[in-house]
Amino acid sequence: MNMNQPRRIQAKQSAVRNTSFSLSNQHGTVGVLESTLETDYFLWKRYELGDETYFEMQPPKIKYHNAVGKPTTYTADGAIIENEIYYIDEVKYLEESLTEENKLKFEILEKLFAKQSKVFRVVTEVDIRVGNRIDNIKQLYPAKRHPAPIAEFTELTSGRRFRHLTMKEAIKLCKKRKLPLWVIKRSIAHGLFQTDITKHMSELELTWSTGFGV
């Protein structure tokens, strides 16, 4: 589901924390990233979400009353609409998310967003930094910006009895068939190869559907 609305220009949220800006052209969102964890969250979601999925960093702030009844404002780190479910994501390190102050805050926000038919989630490093996923995404995302290499992928996988290759086998086969090695990463990035990107890149096992190769 895609939200056809203009994106807001994001402003720096804190004068004392290190802030970086990242852009996702495919989703039309600017990420204002105030921690390395937020950066990794942005990389992860930017890579895995489909082009038609609504994804926005720092959606519009909302007003609410905190645990002591004081009016305050809240800006989420991310907003996603996936499978017709509207998610509001708060990115926090696990230890920080478990403080009593934050648990009370998140309880209030969960109920508040539920009234808007939105699902509030606390996303921690346990969710984001799974195995080698972030390191692999840093290598694969640039490949995703190129067109899907359908012809090269078909040439690489044709004639295979089994639809399975280890990364080492794929590299060897590319060289044997005189194909550029970028075919492998681009094929993974575009979903032509299915694999578990939480594993180390050198240990990936590649499979593909019956729709490709012969």
pLDDT digits (tens, 9 = 90+) for 79-108: 999 999 999 999 999 999 999 999 999 999
AA identity, residue 2: N
* Alpha helix stretches (DSSP H) within the chain: 36-48, 94-97, 100-114, 125-128, 133-144, 150-157, 167-176, 182-189
Digit-coded pLDDT (tens) for 34-49: 789 999 999 999 999 9
Residue 142 has pLDDT above 90, yes or no: yes
pLDDT at res. 22: 58
Q: What DSSP character marks residue 202?
A: G
> 79, 61 in Cβ contact below 8 A?
no
Kindly state the percentage of the chain with pLDDT values over 70: 83
* Mean pLDDT of all residues in 153-169: 95
Indicate if the pLDDT at residue 18 is higher than 70: no
How confident is the model at residue 168, as a pLDDT?
A: 97
Give the per-residue pLDDT at 98: 97
How high is the pLDDT of residue 31?
59
Quote the pLDDT of residue 51: 79
Question: How much is the pLDDT for 147?
Answer: 95
Q: In angstroms, how far is CA 12 from the centroid of its own chain?
A: 22
Average pLDDT, the chain: 87
Radius of gyration from C-alpha coordinates of the chain: 21
pLDDT of residue 14: 38
Give the model's pLDDT for residue 204.
Answer: 98
Is pLDDT above 60 for 21? no
| pLDDT of residue 155 exceeding 90 | yes
**The residue to which tokens 């852009």 are assigned:** 23
pLDDT surpassing 70 at residue 135: yes
CA-nearest of 89, 80, 86 to 123 is: 89
Burial profile 105-139: b = 16 or more Cβ within 10 angstroms, e = fewer: bbebbbebbeeeebebbbbbbeebbeebbbbbbee
Question: At a CB cut-off of 8 Å and minimum separation 6, what does 63 contact?
Answer: 71, 72, 73, 74
Mean pLDDT across the stretch 55-74? 93
Give the global pTM.
Answer: 0.81
